[in-house]
Amino acid sequence: MMTFLKIDQLSAFYGKAKALHDISLSVKQGEIIAIVGANGAGKSTLLDSIMGLTKIEGDISLEGKSLIGKTTPEIVQSGVGYAPERFNLFPYMSVYNNLMVGAFTAREDITRNLEIVEKLFPRLKERTNQETHTQSGGERQMVSLGRALMSSPRLLLVDEPTIGLAPKICLEIAVVLRRLRDEFNTTIVITEQNANFAMTLAERLYVLESGSIKIEGLAKDLKNDPQLTEAYFGH
């Protein structure tokens, strides 16, 4: 399988402060990988960087084409969907309208994508007219994922899909992400603080610490890694 997303020697900056140090990683098409790290490790910064939202050095490419110099909307257009940590939903718009904004770059696919989102999240269909500022955390996560899917992404980035959610909803979200990969061959990158959850979903893990990748490997090999066990199975 060819490399779908390739990140090469990536550093990211907030002003003069360096938040990521020479990160290199690659993801194959149809793979699910997880970036595991504690608070402040740089998980969100990494995903923001892929979306062109931070100041970076190094290279990021999708299917061999560099994303450097592209604007965020252009990156969305080239097939990357993003469900960010704090969702960044439009609070006084309905669920339906939030999804429709997500379709801004993929207007021909609206009917098909809306069907997919409603199939994956039946709960959103029932609440299509609810404004998102009145929704629960789990529902917002669903709208956020749904909005990202409305742009017909081939690569989906999800920042901490389970943060603050009840175990039952975590499981639902995991099932949905799995289905997306299995049914639509969507490549998925998630970030997680919870290594347990990461391993149930992802095939490969990268462990991020203070902006650098410390460990990488297949989920099944890392299950018993003492380094990982000690730091990330606190939950």
Binding interface with ligand ATP (CB under 6 A): 14, 17, 19, 37, 39-45, 85, 193
In this chain, which of 9, 14, 68, 104 binds other proteins, going by CB under 8 A?
A: 104
85 binds Mg ion (CB under 5 A): yes
- The residue within the footprint of other proteins, chosen from 76, 173, 195, 213 (CB under 8 A), is 76
Q: From other proteins, ligand ATP, Mg ion, none, which one binds at residue 105 (CB under 5 to 8 Å depending on kind)?
A: other proteins
Binds 231: which of Mg ion, other proteins, ligand ATP, none (CB < 5-8 Å by kind): none
Q: Of 14, 66, 101, 183, which one interacts with other proteins (CB under 8 A)?
A: 101
Nearer to ligand ATP, 159 or 172 (CB): 159
Question: What are the residues whose beta carbons fall under 8 Å from the beta carbon of 89, sequence distance 6 or more?
Answer: 98, 132, 140, 143, 144, 147
Those residues with Cβ within 8 angstroms of residue 123's Cβ, 6 or more apart along the chain or in another chain: 139, 142
Nearer to Mg ion, 18 or 28 (CB): 18
Binding mask 123-162 for other proteins (x = CB under 8 A): ------------------------xx-xx-----------
d(C-alpha 85, C-alpha 141), whole Å: 9
Choices 20-28, 56-64, 102-110, 160-168; region in contact with other proteins by CB under 8 A = 102-110
Kindly tell me which of 85 and 216 has the beta carbon lying closer to ligand ATP. Answer: 85
Output the smallest distance, CB 221 to other proteins, in A.
33
- Counting every residue written for the chain, the total comes to 235
Q: Which one of ligand ATP, Mg ion, other proteins, none interacts with residue 42, CB within 5 to 8 A by kind?
A: ligand ATP
Cβ at position 70, least distance to other proteins in Å: 12
Shortest distance, position 86 Cβ to ligand ATP, whole Å: 9
Q: Which residues contact 191 (CB under 8 A, 6 or more apart)?
A: 34, 35, 36, 37, 43, 44, 46, 47, 158, 159, 160
Residues making contact with other proteins (CB under 8 A): 51, 53, 71-73, 76-77, 82, 84, 87-93, 97, 100-107, 147-148, 150-151
